[in-house]
Chain A
Amino acid sequence: MEGSKTEFKRSTIHIPERRELAIVGMVALALCVFVFLSISYQLIFIAYTLLSIFIFCSYLILWLEGGKAEIPPPDPAHWPHVTVIIPSYNTKSTIFDCIKSCKEMEYPGKFDILVVDDGSSDGSAETLAKTGGIAMIQNEKNRGKAAALNFAIRHSKGEIVACIDSDTYPKKDTLHKAIKHFYEDEKVASVVVFVCVNKPHNLLQRIQEIEYWISFGFFFRTIASIDGLYVTPGPTAFYKKSVLDTLGGFDEQNLTEDMEIALRMQKNGWKIRACHETMVLTEVPSSLHKLFRQRLRWYRGGVMNVLKYIELFFNPKYGDFGLFILPTTLGSGFFAALFMAWSLMSLSRNFFDWLSPFTYKFAAGMSATVAGLGNGLFTFQSAWILGLFSLAIWAYFLIKSFEISNTKPEVRHIIPLICLLWLYPIFVGFVFLVSYIYELFGIKYAW
């Protein structure tokens, strides 16, 4: 749905509540930054690193005890009818490849493809209408992805609906492998598959390729082993239609409806399973600007959903999901924003040292006083030793992620990896910070 110009309508019901909470959040953020600046950053760094190590160790143990062994479930006695739903809005460059991949899927049961055109203006609707082997329904006006999905779900005939983005290409066995997981437990309402990047062309896409392997590979598999998935990724997710009907479908006012539906399922005691025996390939943003827009939507949606489902956080009723997964995944955005705010303040202080009228002419000499910069970011050396441990655990996760994606680590991965480790967190932290600020000021979201 990327690239459309429709303005997203914010929920009028939640604004006052969200706004108050956002203000509380920003005050908390400011307080934390104040604390960061007033006590030794050594202590902050050590505390932060030890917390990270604990979280990493937890994921490591969870992986070793559960995530590592993803045993494919046996074939079910009855293969359910599946409706593949592809929402489309001005997607003529990718949707026909997507439909082709969907048609090529091999599945023992019955499946049909339903494309919902969400008021496209690029001529794709006309071509789609002439395409054989699919059914098409149309929205007169563009109403957003969630509304398009709901519209299609109402028209679907399958017991299971497979929501596949128009820029995503499933493998031949995707349907066959994923559907089996619904029969692991009668409470399984959704199955997600391993989402990978389709043909990365530039460095930014190669960075995302590795990021997807780690996130959708290692972490999703580990989190799914304790039924803790907090998002059913937009590119491809399978749902029991009956559960969607019971829950009332996707939230049409939500920026990240894929996260919202997952949280709603968790809240209502449904389970989400992950299937890594197959994968889907998806297009990812090719420029920093596009990536910024995508992540801003994700993170703002994240903030929106954290606030909407705040009662799940640290709630023992929801077990691992409430006590560990939510705080360490969705909650970590807060720390990312905090770290970014702190870094920007430190950097700006040093930057203004440089630019101030007294000192600008000595810029050349400043390089000699490296220790001067030490007040800011660059003097943690002793504490970096702890950081090395967390890096070592992360490296293990990385190796496992490569294994999950059946990719052999090669020299060409080194530069994207270095960027993923050192530059990408800065970008992510920055987008988190911007998303908090946008939420605070209630800035409207445009697709």
Chain B
Amino acid sequence: MAHQSPYLKAALLTLAIALIGFFFISQLDSLRVNELRNSVNALSYQSESERFLFTYSQVMGGGANELCGYVSKTTQIKEDKAYALSEKIRYYEQSNIVNAEYETIKDEYYLSNAALYLNMRSTAKYCGSSPYTTILFFYRVKQDCPECRAQGGVLDNLRKKYPNMRVFAFPNDTDHEFINVFLRRHNVTAVPSLVIDDSTVLQGLTDEGKLSAYLARQS
């Protein structure tokens, strides 16, 4: 090749740009991972502290009023974050290039989410009633699932109408025993699927009208 050196120089320049580029990419990825980590840690802290209060009141005998008041207040704040966080994790993971921590973050997030769901059900049982309607939402992650996205849209819409609705989203195709117990308990085989207040199971895509009717009945 007559002009070899320009291309060699170009290759070296490209390499330098790639190195600088990947440095910034890794910084960006780390920033986002840290953000998610902090959010998941906060969820985890919340579920731990709730669990502590339950155990405390059972072992030491505490006032139910105080406990119920506390749990319902914190749940109200954190649940909003918990559901939004699932979308954020997915979004960040798709944008991520160099960071390998997402699997751990997701596992911790699912677990915290499951624990929070359990706390909420426990609150309802322990306190006699709950102002909240809980929804388990099962979706798929390993393959594209347009219906799951649509179901997500329906839930988002309804959350505006029913502020006391609490959604806990879980993938049905990961091998987590704490998710599998939910799936087995409610015989969930399809995605998307919804479980309302641990009793009503709706398999397949549920449209807004139908879901709205269920929620109206619950409240």
Contacts and interface: CB of A to CB of B under 8 A. Distances in A.
Interface in B79-109: 87-88, 90-91, 94-98
B61 interface: no
Contacts of B68: none
B14 A54 contact: yes
Nearest to A59: B10
Contacts of B149: 353, 359, 366, 369, 372
Nearest to A42: B97
Interface stretch (B17-25, B49-57, B119-127, B183-191): B17-25
Contact of A368 (B9, B91, B156): B156
B11 interface: yes
A297 to B, nearest CB: 32
Contacts of B98: 382
B66 interface: no
Interface string A357-394: 01101101111111110110001111101100100000
Of the candidates A53, A362, A382, the one having the most CB atoms from chain B within 10 angstroms of its own CB is A382
Contact of B94 (A320, A324, A362, A374): A374
Contacts of A367: 153
Nearest to A356: B146
Nearest to B99: A382
Nearest to A363: B153
Contact of B87 (A54, A319, A369, A385): A369
B1 interface: yes
Contact of B14 (A53, A362, A368, A380): A53
B157 A365 contact: yes
Contacts of B17: 53, 57, 386, 389
Given A62-B6, A320-B2, A382 B96 contact: yes
A65 to B, nearest CB: 6
Given A53-B14, A368-B156, A374-B90, A382 B95 contact: yes
A364 to B, nearest CB: 7
A434 interface: no
Given A58-B6, A319-B2, A374-B90, A386 B25 contact: yes
Given A226-B3, A383-B25, A389-B17, A369 B152 contact: yes
A323 interface: yes
Nearest to B21: A386
Contacts of B207: 358, 361-362
Contacts of A372: 146, 149, 152-153
Contacts of A383: 25, 97
B153 A369 contact: yes
A361 B208 contact: yes
Contacts of A370: 91
A316 interface: yes
A46 interface: yes
A371 B1 contact: no
B102 to A, nearest CB: 13
B64 interface: no
Given A364-B157, A385-B28, A359 B146 contact: yes
Interface in B128-169: 144, 146-147, 149-150, 152-154, 156-157
Given A50-B18, A57-B10, A380-B95, A368 B146 contact: no
A407 B17 CA distance: 30
B13 interface: yes
Contacts of A57: 9-11, 13-14, 17
B208 to A, nearest CB: 6
Contact of A371 (B7, B87, B146): B87
Contacts of B67: none
A31 interface: no
B24 A385 contact: yes
A60 interface: yes
B94 to A, nearest CB: 4
Contact of A316 (B1, B90, B147): B1
B205 interface: yes
Contacts of B144: 349, 375
Given A54-B11, A320-B3, A383-B97, A362 B28 contact: no
Contacts of B150: 353, 358-359, 362, 365-366
A368 B157 CA distance: 8
A353 B154 contact: no
A342 to B, nearest CB: 15
A374 B91 contact: yes
A434 B26 CA distance: 39
Given A42-B94, A361-B207, A365-B156, 5 more contacts: A53-B17, A353-B146, A353-B150, A389-B17, A389-B21
Interface of A: 42, 46, 50, 53-54, 57-58, 60-62, 65, 226, 316, 319-320, 323-324, 349, 352-353, 356, 358-359, 361-362, 364-372, 374-375, 379-383, 385-386, 389
21 contacts: A50-B14, A54-B11, A57-B9, A62-B6, A319-B2, A324-B7, A353-B149, A359-B149, A362-B154, A365-B154, A365-B157, A366-B153, A371-B87, A372-B146, A374-B91, A374-B95, A379-B91, A382-B95, A382-B96, A383-B25, A383-B97
